[in-house]
Structure 1
Amino acid sequence: MYNPSKKQTDVLENLKKIDANIEIKWDEQTGSPLRVKGVLAQAEHLDPGIAAIEFLDQNKGLFLLDSVQKEMLLKRIDTDRLGARHVRMQQVYKELPVFGSEIIVHIDANNKIKGTTGKLTPGIDLPEKPKITDEQALKVALGDDRNNSLGRLHAEPALMILTQFVEQPHLVWHVTVNGMDRDLKGDDTPAKWEYFVDALSGEIVWKYNNEQTHTRTTGSGIGRYSGAVTINTVHDHGSAQYQLDDQWLPSSARVTTHDANGGYPPAPVSEDNNNNWSAASQGPDVDCHLYTRMVYDYFFTVHGRDSYDDAGADMHIYANCGANWNNASWNGSYVKIGNGDGIKYDPLCALDIIAHEWTHAVTEYTANLVYSGESGALNESMSDVFAALIAGNWIFGEDAWLLASAPGSRNMEDPTNGGLYDPANPIDSVLAGHQPDHMTDKYTGAQDYGGVHINSGIMNKAAYLIATGGTHRGIRICEGLGRDVLGIIYYQALTTHLVSSSDFSDMRDAVLDSLDDLYATNPHYSRWRASIINAFAAVGIGTAVTCPMICWIAPFICPPAPHILCPPSPYICPPSPHFACPPSPYICPPAPDIVCPPSPIVVCPPSPHIACPPSPGLSCLPGPDPLPPYIPDIRVRRPEITLKTDIIEIVGIGPETANLFKGRSILTLGDFMKATENEKKITELSKALGISEAKMHDWRKKTLVMLGELK
């Protein structure tokens, strides 16, 4: 166990003067905190970026930093649905980014700094000047494999420091190239290789395939999963053709579907001469188009996210990719969908597969989980979880899956499919649809980029248990949180707590911290927290806890007078005078000043050892709490949304910004629509409040969706 230095101990003692119950988790290798949780400070500056920098500077000894101004660079600020700001900063060394080394400072809506998460690498000592050029590094990457080639959509080589995922720090050129790889079956599959070439020696120190796929098999085929549907298209007057281009989204984003026709991108947009896309060969195109729009709608209406980058990026998807390509992938720019071989897979244009790939895109633009080892398996699991939430079941890829060895390519409810996963033969197991569901069976080899498709089953099982409850490996989950709450908490974790190098243990912390962010005042909180702890413990991460008991007045039964206390036991009544009787076991008292009648039937027994009267009016029961499920500020379009609805209902606006609007008498959705009805008013309001015009436009579009005026 890591022993903090005296400098770190001194900083901790000062922080504990504010909150004596601060929690801290150390990086055993570097000595830097992975997670600090508690009320750490009251931010002195209203700007969250400046406040985060000031906090780190005041406590730099804890994080083993020498100069925050020189070592940390503000990356972005995310505001969650409760108005908390999550300031994400990139570590730099002599102005060079340190790959995978980030920290997030969490500042709540009351401007209190509530914790930090992330991974930093202190004590870097490297030359900042390369001995080889970016062109030489590019030649090294291109020469590593005869299939490697430049991709026009990829970035130029970048000089940086690599400390994560390697044994010792390196000054490297980060180079991205297209190429080929082998899937789990051993067949060729397209790759997007991320190379890290030592800038001093010219050696390749690390590489990984960032072509984020859900399975790796081969094939082609035709399928129709959506049935008879309506899809949004455009008409090209020049060619007199209709195209699968959805321009009806509530922002500047578009969904564009391309027909690769057995090849790979680039490929033209799918076309039809009469706008009737009913040919058998067009089935994958229709599904890709419709389901991509459904994915956009889910993230927009439930989480307030505008496309995968939250900035209205166009969503390009390529149907009918590859000759016998049993695969689907996100490559950093677009999604590719294979057609299946009709033996193991039908066309892979199923809703959950498409949702899985687009979630990879969301992950890249949020936590950016590195596609290797535990972080890569977590990346895969995140895509599976949101695919399950969007598609509505826990079996992944079942529409396209043809093998009898499993109900789908992945089973989140039971990854092992009744114990069929074989730790001694993990590759064949995962190809047959079986995965481990516990850390004791975790794959530790080098294949599958360190087991990203194998070990994701462990995280999938944890997510399933959190949502549904139950018992696994002898550990009981207190109560399931439900699918909606799981989605909200996981999105919070992905966007505000996880960093690129986060592992399974970090995910446990991120989910618990997200619960604290969103549900700390909810009556379910204590049992939900215990449920999350036990769900991770059930898959071998952390230690289980005892489920708390909850006592309440029975549902649908009139409660007694307000001053009656709930007995500490469902079998024992407290002695008087601490317990007053209701006037009738069946009738609600009309006022709190009603006196209990003298009837011996309703008089409480004087002894705490005598059983409670059999009145249905008072019950003390074990959990779960009978209150209806609580979901904070989901902000989806609802029938009760009108022009008179409070402006706070707009997704992502937050209480602090809402108060700025209300200070200018913009109180309701109607007020907001009127105040932003033209470009001139938007510009004036933007300048007056110090909020970007892009944000104003974004909130206006979301308001139109809520009011049902945009679909």
Structure 2
Amino acid sequence: MSRIRQHIRGTRRLATAGVAVTTATLLATALSPAAHADNRPTRATAMENAASALVAHATSLGLTSAEDTKVRDVIVDKDGTQHIRYDRTYRHLPVLGGDFVVHLKPNGSFRSADRATRKRVSLPSVTPKVSAPKAAGLAVHALRAANFGEKLKHVKAKPELVVDALHGAPKLAWRTNAVGLDSLGNPVARTVLTDARTGAQIDAWDSIETATGDGQSLYSGTVPLETTQSGSSYQLKDPTRGNTYTGDAENKTDLCFFGICFFRAPATLFTDADNHWGTGSNADRSSAAVDAQYGTDETWDYYKNVQNRNGIANDGKGSYNRVHYGNNYNNAFWDDSCFCMTYGDGDGTTFGPLVALDVAGHEMTHGVTSKTAALTYSGESGGLNEATSDILGTMVEWYANSPSDPGDYLIGEQIVRPGFGKTALRYMDQPSKDGNSADYWSSSVGNLDVHYSSGVANHFAYLLAEGSGPKTINGVSYNSPTYDGSKVTGIGRDKVGKIWYRALTVYMTSSTNYAGARTATLNAAKDLYGTGTEYNAVAAAWNAVNVH
């Protein structure tokens, strides 16, 4: 994924541990009022306050004169409490696990901080012993192995030198993105982390995060759509939601390497003569577009109306969708580099078109995660990344309240076909029903594929929302067990969504594991509801999935 860019950059270089700071200009004072109309600090004020906190608390934050920081995200609570999230570099190299969040009181004074890692970064050299071409070759080999030796086309790899502080003592490493096309012409990608001294593989993960008017959709019936009139026709473009739009990829795929696209599958904007879109069948290419646009609308509205987030990047700008991507492509994915959602049509045997509402909510939530905690897509943090998309994507489905696709705790139930052999991709009440996912935490959970290690957090979220034991909700039967045989009483899905979102955006970092997620959600529950019923329920639900 591309590095996060901001219109206002808060770059800080610490001259000494806790002494002088050279700071880039944020905003001219005349252009930056001290507070919002409701007397809350502005974003710029919060960043200025945080800059002072970095100087005063550099030692406790592990910052040295060899390190720079850059603001990634700013959240100001209604009471004026400020949360400023930073990325870190060491001798100009990105530090994986170097991110941290500074929490400030309403008056701007330091309250606390959350760090992805507490390890101090100090390397004898930033000159690698393993060459960049060697790292690229190792990553290509890993990509081929991950695709079972399938012959791949147009394979490329681009190494980037980084400091790895996520896996033990900080070390110099190559982070290499390897990409290619499979035999059907669909994209495959893998990020490989290699020790720059020894050539040993430290970690590897898939780089494509998967889930695997009015319009007649494939899955949600007839839905309302906000469109744009252009002359005598209409465009499937929503001016009320940041100009989000949906286009036809024309069954083509991208040929992009490391942000440089030799060919990008199109997103030819759908148009219509009468502003009544689709027929509800695959025969009309705009039917899938209706689902995609509807999914974008509902996801936008959920985050804005429930979480007070103005778009995926919280900047009011809309994303766009591409449907009919690739050849029988069994996938859907969010891509930061185009700030867009992409949907395959499925092979018709295991999956239908992947434009279902909870898939849309899931994939676009990957965009939200990348703009906030940026949970690393491997190990326990990778499971939490996937679970975040499952949990908040499920909240989008409940929020939409579609009579044709009512809310449930099943992931992807609309897209699966009989050839898949199961009724859904994942089951939040008892994740192991899919045959692979973990119901409870164990020391080996981090070794699972991230779509399966996510089961622990999915199970936690279900238990926290609905409680344990058998029940039927919206016509779906659930029976959620607990690790210790305890009985858990739910607090309702709305509170769960708010607790998880605040934990993600305020307390989690790139390296958060399950123990850290427990702490983050307890902190979030305390912020939102105090230390009573909700706080205790969060603790009980984590206990019930063996996270202590």
TM-score of the pair, normalised by structure 1: 0.57
Q: Deviations over 1:526-557 (max 9, x none)?
A: 22212111101110101xxxxxxxxxxxxxxx
Query: Quick one: structure 1 residues 68 and 171, their matched pair in 2 at CA, closer, same or farther if it must change by over 3 Å?
Result: closer
Distance 1:123 1:70 in 2: 9
3-state SS of paired residue (1:229): strand
Query: Quick one: structure 1 residues 71 and 441, their matched pair in 2 at CA, closer, same or farther if it must change by over 3 Å?
Result: closer
1:162 aligns with 2:160: no
Paired residue for 2:179? Answer: 178
Q: Deviations over 1:353-376 (max 9, x none)?
A: 111000011101111111111111
1:395 aligns with 2:410: yes
User: How far is 1:409 from its partner?
Assistant: 1.5
Paired residues for 1:130-145 under 5 Å: none
Paired residue for 1:527? Answer: 533
Distance 2:442 2:196 in 1: 39
Paired residue for 1:229? Answer: 223
Paired residue for 1:245? Answer: 237
Paired residue for 1:267? Answer: 266
Distance 2:395 2:220 in 1: 17
Query: Quick one: structure 1 residues 181 and 479, their matched pair in 2 at CA, closer, same or farther if it must change by over 3 Å?
Result: farther
3-state SS of paired residue (1:496): helix
Letter of the 1:310 counterpart:
N
User: How far is 1:122 from its partner?
Assistant: 1.0
Distance 1:123 1:289 in 2: 45
User: How far is 1:317 from its partner?
Assistant: 1.3
Paired residues for 1:27-426 under 5 Å: 48-49=46-47, 51-52=49-50, 55=53, 58=56, 62=60, 65=62, 67-68=63-64, 70-71=66-67, 73-76=69-72, 77-111=74-108, 113-118=110-115, 119-129=117-127, 147=153, 149=155, 158-165=160-167, 169-180=170-181, 190-196=187-193, 206-215=203-212, 224-235=218-229, 242-249=234-241, 253-265=242-254, 266-275=265-274, 276-279=276-279, 280=281, 281=284, 282-332=286-336, 333=338, 334-392=340-398, 393-403=408-418, 406-417=422-433
Distance 1:269 1:188 in 2: 20
* 8 Å contact from structure 1 (residues 245, 256) kept in 2: yes
Distance 1:124 1:74 in 2: 19
User: How far is 1:514 from its partner?
Assistant: 0.9
* 2:528 alignment partner, one of 493, 501, 518: 518
* 8 Å contact from structure 2 (residues 123, 171) kept in 1: no
Q: Deviations over 1:679-709 (max 9, x none)?
A: xxxxxxxxxxxxxxxxxxxxxxxxxxxxxxx
* 8 Å contact from structure 1 (residues 415, 457) kept in 2: yes
* 1:493 alignment partner, one of 503, 521, 543: 503
Distance 1:123 1:270 in 2: 48
Distance 2:131 2:431 in 1: 47
* 8 Å contact from structure 1 (residues 171, 199) kept in 2: yes
Distance 1:475 1:50 in 2: 50
Distance 2:346 2:79 in 1: 43
Query: Quick one: structure 1 residues 123 and 295, their matched pair in 2 at CA, closer, same or farther if it must change by over 3 Å?
Result: closer
Distance 1:236 1:203 in 2: 57
Paired residue for 1:451? Answer: 449
User: How far is 1:327 from its partner?
Assistant: 1.7
Distance 2:443 2:140 in 1: 37
Paired residue for 2:490? Answer: 480
Paired residues for 1:444-593 under 5 Å: 445=447, 450-470=448-468, 472-476=482-486, 479-520=489-530, 525-542=531-548
Distance 2:463 2:165 in 1: 34
Distance 2:488 2:456 in 1: 19
* 8 Å contact from structure 2 (residues 68, 92) kept in 1: no
* 8 Å contact from structure 1 (residues 477, 531) kept in 2: no
* 8 Å contact from structure 1 (residues 223, 346) kept in 2: no
Paired residue for 1:9? Answer: none
Distance 1:366 1:109 in 2: 21
User: How far is 1:163 from its partner?
Assistant: 2.6
3-state SS of paired residue (1:257): strand
Letter of the 1:513 counterpart:
N
Letter of the 1:324 counterpart:
N
* 8 Å contact from structure 1 (residues 478, 530) kept in 2: no
Letter of the 2:516 counterpart:
D
User: How far is 1:351 from its partner?
Assistant: 0.6
User: How far is 1:212 from its partner?
Assistant: 0.5
3-state SS of paired residue (1:353): helix
Query: Quick one: structure 1 residues 272 and 52, their matched pair in 2 at CA, closer, same or farther if it must change by over 3 Å?
Result: closer
Paired residues for 1:631-670 under 5 Å: none
Q: Which has the larger radius of gyration?
A: 1
Distance 2:195 2:104 in 1: 38
3-state SS of paired residue (1:381): helix
* 8 Å contact from structure 2 (residues 267, 322) kept in 1: no
**Tell me, which stretches of 5 or more residues in structure 2 are unaligned?**
1-43, 145-151, 255-264, 399-407, 470-481
Query: Quick one: structure 1 residues 408 and 139, their matched pair in 2 at CA, closer, same or farther if it must change by over 3 Å?
Result: closer
User: How far is 1:301 from its partner?
Assistant: 1.8
Q: Deviations over 1:387-443 (max 9, x none)?
A: 1111122122122223485442211122234xxx6xxxxxxx24xxxx221124954
Letter of the 1:481 counterpart:
I
User: How far is 1:178 from its partner?
Assistant: 3.3
Distance 1:323 1:532 in 2: 44
Paired residue for 2:8? Answer: none
* 1:437 alignment partner, one of 410, 418, 439: 439
Letter of the 1:468 counterpart:
E
User: How far is 1:292 from its partner?
Assistant: 0.8
* 8 Å contact from structure 1 (residues 442, 455) kept in 2: no
User: How far is 1:137 from its partner?
Assistant: 6.6
Query: Quick one: structure 1 residues 510 and 205, their matched pair in 2 at CA, closer, same or farther if it must change by over 3 Å?
Result: closer
Tell me how many residue pairs correspond in the alignment: 453
User: How far is 1:386 from its partner?
Assistant: 0.8
3-state SS of paired residue (2:498): helix
Distance 1:148 1:443 in 2: 34
Paired residue for 1:42? Answer: none
Q: Deviations over 1:493-547 (max 9, x none)?
A: 1111111111111111110111122222xxxx322212111101110101xxxxx
Distance 2:362 2:307 in 1: 16
* 8 Å contact from structure 2 (residues 380, 445) kept in 1: no
User: How far is 1:148 from its partner?
Assistant: 5.1
Q: Tell me the C-alpha RMSD between the 2 structures.
A: 3.4
Distance 2:182 2:78 in 1: 41
Paired residue for 1:560? Answer: none
